[in-house]
Each structure stands twice: as C-alpha cells, then as structure tokens.
Structure 1
Amino acid sequence: MNWVEMDIYTTTEGIEAVTGSLLGMGINGFVIKDAKDFQDFLDDKDGNWDYIDDDLMGLKNCETTVTVYLPENAQGLENLEAMKLELKALKKRDVNNEFGRLEYELKNVKEEDWANNWKQYFKPLCVGEKLLIKPSWEKVAEGEKRKILEIDPASSFGTGQHNTTQLCLELVEKNLHEGDRILDLGCGSGILSIGALLLGAESATAVDVDENSVKIAKENAEKNHISAEKYTAYCGNIIDDKALVEQIGTGYDLLCANIVADVLIGMSGIFGGFIKDGGTLIVSGIIDQRKDEVLDRLKAEGFELIEIREKEDWVAASFRK
C-alpha cells in the first residue's frame, strides 16, 4: 500500500490539541517535531551523548510539526477531509492564537490528483438491509431491490466506506419510522440524512461547520431526487451560535451525529433541546478507547442507552430521550 505524508504545522502549545483531534479520529500513530522539546533534550545535563548530527541540530529552529501517514485510498482521503474540518474548528477555538497557523502540507502526492485517483476505490456498497450506496459513475445491476443512495463526496467526509458511517446508517435504518423528522449534525456529504429520507423520513435538516460540506450535501440531496422543501442545510456551529440553534428548531424524531468524541461531548448538553420526548439520538465517530467517556456523558444528560454497535475500533450507539 502507498502512503501519503501529512505535515500539520502548529506550536508547542498546539501539540496537545492537534494530537487529541487525531486520536479522536482513530489515528494513533504520528511523529512530532518541536524545537522546545529538542532544546530541553540539549539542556539535559544527564544526557549520554557527545555528538549530534548536523541534520538533527536543525530541529533547534524547526516549526512545530505533527506528521501523520494516511493510506493512499478512499479511507485515507476521508481522514484527510475530516482532519481539514478539525483544523478549521481548532482555528475557531484558538482565540488567543496559541496554536500557530494550523495549516497542512501533503507529500508524495498532489491533493488534487489524490482526490481524483481515489475514485477507483469507491465501489457500490450494501449497508444494513435496505440501502445500496454508489457514486454517480458506477452502475448497479438491473432489478436491484435495495434503495439506491447516490453520493459524490467531492471534498467532504462521507462515502459510506468508513466504519463510522456504516454503523450510523445501520442504526438509522433500525430506529427510523415512516414520516420522521431528521436532524443530521456534522452532515459532511449528507449521506446520513439523505439515507434517512430514502428510508421513509418526511424531512431532514443538515448542519455542518464547513460551508463546502453544506453545498455538497445539498447537491447530493438533489442527485437523489429530494426536493428543497424536504431537505434544509445550514452552515454554522451549534455550540456557540444561539441564533442557529433557534433556526434549526426542535421536535425532531431522530438526531444523528457522526463526529469525533470531543465534539460529541461538547454538544451533549444541546442534543436534548432538538429532540422530542421519546425521540432517538444516534451517535457515531467514537474511537473505542473513548466509548465509556462519551456514553457516560450522554447518560448523564438524561438519555437512555438503547444499543451499542462496534466495528473494528469504532463505536456507534442509539439512545432514547
């Protein structure tokens, strides 16, 4: 397998925030270069060394960098898109500009080439008992009985290939009732809310902090012959935008959120205001190591745990309000 090197530029103070985001996405391996850390090494009087290579000495003046290696395939591209959204979110939270420029650089491949070449990995995929997910350039067999969800993620997270998306769609299918109103927080490509509409939901509202994701979600809804009256999409952050929260409204039958653990925890106190009594909350995007932390937080907010599903290192769960 080929790998793509992603360098994320930050500061000493930003290392914990950046690596925390990576860990929340299930990326457990990374390399950190930090001038302060190297200076601490040089200042260590107990160090057992008498010579340092000139290349290594270059670390004295390096920009703090967190490096990860992503597989050159569809899942790697989804990880890239998720990390780009995380960097945008970190920039918004970094009001004191402590985390540096929070920009990234790819090595070994051009991003635009990768975004085109990965299409070879995106094939029709059956999820649950009723859905078949396919990109627009792939055909399906005549007489296919599953609901066809046509999705082109472009530069947004959500092809259906990732375990978190599959787990979430399975729980949506199980808990959805005909005529339900759906709220999709962190919608990405819109795959969850569009899938819910194809499965019988009456209407859906989708929200994402990334403007491009909102645009792509609307385009994907149109590709699946869903009218604008049934599909509404907003750009914004519900954690700190009270006007957006009011605009989204309340009384939803089912809320789904496929986001990293830290964001789910940050939103946990807001979920209940969107869902009607007896409604369903579905969360995904949780790495196994943080399962208990997220689920306990939601239970503390008054949600009743109904079901947990796991696939490889990822966890999704459904709750009742």
Structure 2
Amino acid sequence: MPYRQTTITVNDTAAERLADALMEHGALSAAIEDAYAGTENEQAIFGEPGMPTEQIWQQSKVIALFGEDDPVAGIIQKAAAECGLGELPYTAETLEDQDWVRLTQAQFDPIQISERLWITPSWHDAPDDNAVNLQLDPGLAFGTGSHPTTRLCLQWLDGELKGGESVLDYGCGSGILAIAAMKLGAGSAVGVDIDPQAIRASRDNAAQNNTDAQFYLPDGLPEGQFDVVVANILANPLRMLGDMLAARTKQGGRIVLSGLLDEQVEELSEIYAQWFDLDPAVTDESWARLSGVKR
C-alpha cells in the first residue's frame, strides 16, 4: 500500500504540539527535524557542558506519514486549528510500499575511508580482509562514516596515529571515531556524548568491533588530559567549548575539529589559535577539518 508523506515548516513554539496533534487525528507517524539541517544555520539543540540547553529547533520541519486514502488536508487543518495555528502550507509526496528493511540496507554499502580503512555494515562481507575494517550499522546515533566530517576525522586518525596514544572523542555519536582510534593502534579511547542513546549505541558498536573504547555522559567523564582530542560537532559548540577542549589536551598533544563549514574556518582558527599551532584546514565537499598541536 502506498503512503503519503507531508512536510510542514513551523517555528519552535508549535512543532511538538503539531506533531502530537497530527498523531491524534490519524497520522501514522510524525517526526521533527531541523529546517536548516545541513546548512550553516543548523542548530545544536542539546546543551554541551557550559552551554545553554535548547529544547527544539527554532525553525522545524514536521514530517508526517499517512495512509494512501487518509484525508490528509483535513487532518492537517484539524491539527493546526487545535494548536491555534492558521492555514498551514505543506508539501506532499507518495511513497510506494516496499520491503523497507532491504531498501534501507541497500542504501548502505561498505565505505572506503582510506587505502586501508573500511566501514562495513554487518550484512556485508568485509571488502578487504587485510584492511582495518569497522563493522558499523546505521542506527539511532550520528556517525556512519558517510558524512564528510566523519570521513575527515577518520582520515586524520588513520594518517596521524602512531600507536599507544590516549584519545578523547568529544561528541561521540555512534562511537565511530573512538572505535576507529582503537583499531588503528591507540592505547586507549574515551568517548563522551550528552545523549544517553548515543552512549548505548557507542557501547554496542564497541562490543561489535571487539574494542575496549569507553563511553560516558559528560558528568561521568574521568578527569585527565589526552594525547589526541577529536571533536566532530557543529561550529557553535566548538566556539563555546574551546577552553574545555584545550584543557583536555596534553601539552604537545593534538586536536582535531570538524563539523564546520569552509566559511567558518577563519573564525574557528582565530579562537583555537589561542592554544594550538594549527595546520591548514582540509576540506571535503563544503565541510572542513582543523587540526593542530597544543603549545
């Protein structure tokens, strides 16, 4: 049976109420996403230590799924009225019924990060048994290796780790960077994330890859400094967290920053030059990576 998917853009005061109302009036599902995701206006809604916490994006997309014969316009009108909203413009598309599990799996082939580093979903055989293979399935936490910022960080780890280093992965998501660091020879790797779901996913992924990377919520992160600190998060948290990330990096240690767009490199470089001698930025598509050595 085909489905109808609608997308409605609303502000932060209405998104959650509208999603709930759509479900109450017959939507099969309703999800909320950042209306500016993938742009320089993308907004981090979860507070990092020392940062204010936002509950929802200021401008959101409510994406609702309906049955083929559902009165979509009427449901949206009723939900909008219930939320005290006027007429809401929306876009709609038809989704044909498919084997969604196989379709999803077909979208995720092995990803080659470098000459020797691959990321392989569990339903695929490793393309190169002699390579460093990370087994990672798409899941509920960010970081499968397909995004340019993740690739940039993985390529740095592959090229720069000498063996035996202590690594902090700040904003670990799926745990991919900490797990990769261990498989590439790090002596220890610790990941931290504000999302308990990310911590659970990271621990599961570490077990799946037979690595001893450790993962914590911010309050549980042990004290101490690290030889390498990697932070693949957005530009705004990177602006706010410079002091903390620098304090977590040993003198002579390395920092790796990504999640920023090329036009944000100059500003972030000025901030982190307070503590680090920075290398030239490396870019992939419109995203950038900064790295440097702590003075």
Q: What's 1:10 paired with? A: 12
SS at structure 2 position matched to 1:209: coil
Matched, 1:310 2:267: no
Q: What's 1:295 paired with? A: 269
Q: Give the distance between the partners of 1:210 and 1:118, measured in 2 at CA.
A: 24
Task: Specify whether residues 4 and 211 from structure 1 end up closer, same or farther in structure 2 by C-alpha distance, changes over 3 A only.
Answer: farther
Runs of at least 4 residues off by over 6 Å: 99-103, 113-116
SS at structure 2 position matched to 1:93: coil
Q: Give the distance between the partners of 1:127 and 1:100, measured in 2 at CA.
A: 32
Indicate the RMSD between aligned Cα atoms, in angstroms.
3.2
Q: Give the distance between the partners of 2:160 and 2:287, measured in 1 at CA.
A: 20
Task: Specify whether residues 150 and 197 from structure 1 end up closer, same or farther in structure 2 by C-alpha distance, changes over 3 A only.
Answer: same
Task: Specify whether residues 279 and 127 from structure 1 end up closer, same or farther in structure 2 by C-alpha distance, changes over 3 A only.
Answer: same
Q: Give the distance between the partners of 2:153 and 2:6, measured in 1 at CA.
A: 28
Matched, 1:125 2:98: no
TM-score normalised per structure 1: 0.66
Q: What's 1:26 paired with? A: 38
Matched, 1:269 2:243: yes
Shift of 1:164: 0.6
Q: For the Cα contact (< 8 Å) 2:154–2:180, is it kept in 1? A: yes
Q: For the Cα contact (< 8 Å) 2:9–2:59, is it kept in 1? A: no
Aligned residues between the structures: 238
Letter matched to residue 128 of structure 1: S
Q: Residue deviations 1:5-25, cap 9 Å, x none?
A: 46454149xxxxxxxx866x5
SS at structure 2 position matched to 1:220: helix
Matched, 1:106 2:63: yes
Q: Give the distance between the partners of 1:128 and 1:100, measured in 2 at CA.
A: 35
Task: Specify whether residues 202 and 288 from structure 1 end up closer, same or farther in structure 2 by C-alpha distance, changes over 3 A only.
Answer: same
Shift of 1:150: 0.5
2:135 equivalent among 141, 147, 150: 150
Identity %: 29
Q: For the Cα contact (< 8 Å) 1:22–1:28, is it kept in 2? A: no
TM-score normalised per structure 2: 0.71
Shift of 1:137: 1.1
Q: For the Cα contact (< 8 Å) 2:35–2:61, is it kept in 1? A: no
Q: For the Cα contact (< 8 Å) 2:45–2:57, is it kept in 1? A: no
SS at structure 1 position matched to 2:45: helix
Gaps (5+ residues) in structure 2?
15-33, 65-92
Q: Give the distance between the partners of 1:153 and 1:182, measured in 2 at CA.
A: 24
Letter matched to residue 213 of structure 2: Y
Q: Residue deviations 1:197-239, cap 9 Å, x none?
A: 100011111001111011000000000011xxx3211123xxx
Q: Residue deviations 1:38-97, cap 9 Å, x none?
A: xxxxxxxxxxxxxxxxxxxxxxxxxxxxxxxxxxxxxxxxxxxx97xx33449x8358x8
Q: What's 1:281 paired with? A: 255
Q: Give the distance between the partners of 2:192 and 2:102, measured in 1 at CA.
A: 26
Shift of 1:103: 7.2
Letter matched to residue 125 of structure 2: K
Task: Specify whether residues 221 and 6 from structure 1 end up closer, same or farther in structure 2 by C-alpha distance, changes over 3 A only.
Answer: farther
